[in-house]
Amino acid sequence: MAKIVLIIAAIIEFVFRGLPAFFACESIARVFGLEYIPGALVYIHPFGGLMLVFGVMFFVASKDPAKYKLIFDVGILRYALGIGSYIVTLVTLGSIATFWWVHLVVDVVLLVLFVAARPKAAVASA
């Protein structure tokens, strides 16, 4: 299960978050029904780069999940903080667009999957 969870996360982070944000432009904003704000690109492009890194990291870890247990901890932290950021934004703005609700749900599902699939610590020998 751990391998599958990491591959799913890799695809989501790389294809659905990383590439669109890294190459963000007016036409991509239109595809997703988002407002295009040129001044925000200085935040969006680096975010896309970070999501591409997460995608590659999750893919590499999927080759041997037990060896890369730390990646599960990083993933749990990433999705927990992502959920927290959506909640803060929701409280601050009073609402968020459907696009962001979808990302919130995806983050909740991935958080649950990462917690459930996280390899257990090895028992130390006496």
Q: What is the pLDDT of residues 37-65, one digit of tens each?
A: 999 999 999 999 999 999 999 999 999 99
Q: Are 12 and 52 spatial neighbours (Cβ–Cβ below 8 Å)?
A: no
Q: Are 21 and 44 spatial neighbours (Cβ–Cβ below 8 Å)?
A: yes
Predicted pLDDT at 122: 59
50: DSSP letter: H
In which band, very low, low, confident or very high, does the pLDDT at 121 lie, cut at 50, 70 and 90? Answer: low
pTM for the full model?
Answer: 0.86
List of residues 6+ apart from 106 with CB closer than 8 A: 12
Which tens digits make up the pLDDT trace of 51-107?
Answer: 999 999 999 999 999 999 999 999 999 999 999 999 999 999 999 988 899 999 999
The residue behind tokens 């997460």 is 54
List of residues 6+ apart from 51 with CB closer than 8 A: 13, 14, 17, 18, 21, 22
Query: Is it the case that residue 124 has pLDDT exceeding 80?
Result: no
